[in-house]
């Protein structure tokens, strides 16, 4: 990484930092309400729509970014509010019992330092045995290559699926090793302030859902 050109390093670091502010809920939550009843013998998929995923940034992570001179702003239609930064959900498809599946978002974040701006957009939550958060990384609003930037810790997650409303809260976002390496390479100034597992924030997802036969959504 140290042998790459500076703009590539900045892009990778900003990508890690940007998704470090972004949200996302995970899979098999530890403490969850009973899933909606499924028709006997027929697998179902919960289609998520509307709503948003909101990330509340950890105070320590926010202080680290500020000390490094990195500014962060939402890319529409994402927006900042009292509860954190909210990213609209476009569509999701998950197993109503385990939440295994994907949740896609619109909007994103733009990170800036000096003359460099990097956009992180079109986030996807991948819910499987190793849940994570990915996003498009580039110098424009449409983004570029997709990368994995967060691991999702579900130990304290709370899940509710009832009456057409889905809510997942208490999901902890932690830096991946790749994200930490990128941040240290560009912003560490000879130190290693970022490490794998560094807590970035907590996420809450709220959306509408409808159950459909699993065979209709593959």
Reported as a single tens digit per residue, the pLDDT across 42-68 is: 789 999 999 999 999 899 888 888 888
Confidence check: pLDDT of 207 > 90? yes
Tell me, what's the pLDDT at 218?
A: 64
Q: Which residue has the higher pLDDT, 127 or 10?
A: 127
In SS3 terms, the chain reads as: CCCCCHHHHHHHHHHHHHHCCCCCCCCCCCEECCCCCCCCCCCEEEEEEEEEEEEEECHHHHHHHHHCCCEEEEECCCEEECCEEEEEEEEEEECCCCCCEEEEECCEEEEEECCEEEEEEEEEEEECCCCEEEEEEECCCCCCEEEEEEEEECCCCEEEEECCEEEEEEEEEEECHHHHHHHHHHHCCCCCCCCCCCEEEEEEEEEEEEEEEHHHCC
Q: Is the bond preceding 25 in cis, omega lying within 30 degrees of 0? A: no
Q: Model pTM? A: 0.78
The better pLDDT of the pair 100, 32 is held by: 100
Residue 86, pLDDT > 90, answer yes
């Amino acid at each position: 990484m140290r042998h790459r050109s500076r703009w590539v390093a900045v892009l990778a670091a900003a990508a890690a930092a940007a998704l470090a502010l972004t949200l996302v809920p995970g899979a098999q939550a530890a403490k969850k309400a009973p899933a909606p009843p499924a028709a006997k013998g027929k697998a179902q998929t919960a289609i998520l729509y509307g709503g948003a995923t909101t990330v509340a940034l950890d105070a320590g992570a926010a202080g680290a970014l500020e000390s490094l001179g990195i500014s962060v702003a939402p890319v529409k239609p994402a927006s900042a509010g009292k509860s954190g930064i909210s990213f609209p959900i476009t569509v999701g498809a998950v197993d109503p019992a385990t939440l295994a599946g994907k949740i896609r978002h619109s909007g994103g974040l733009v990170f800036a330092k000096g003359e460099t701006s990097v956009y992180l957009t079109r986030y996807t939550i991948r819910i499987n045995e190793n849940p994570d958060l990915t996003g498009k990384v580039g110098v424009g609003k449409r983004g570029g290559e997709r990368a994995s930037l967060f691991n999702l810790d579900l130990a304290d997650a709370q899940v509710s699926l009832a009456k057409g409303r889905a809510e997942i809260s208490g999901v902890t976002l932690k830096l991946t090793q790749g994200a930490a390496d990128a941040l240290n390479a560009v912003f560490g100034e000879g130190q290693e302030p970022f490490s794998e597992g560094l807590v970035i924030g907590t996420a809450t997802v709220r959306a509408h859902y409808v159950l459909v036969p699993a065979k209709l959504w593959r």
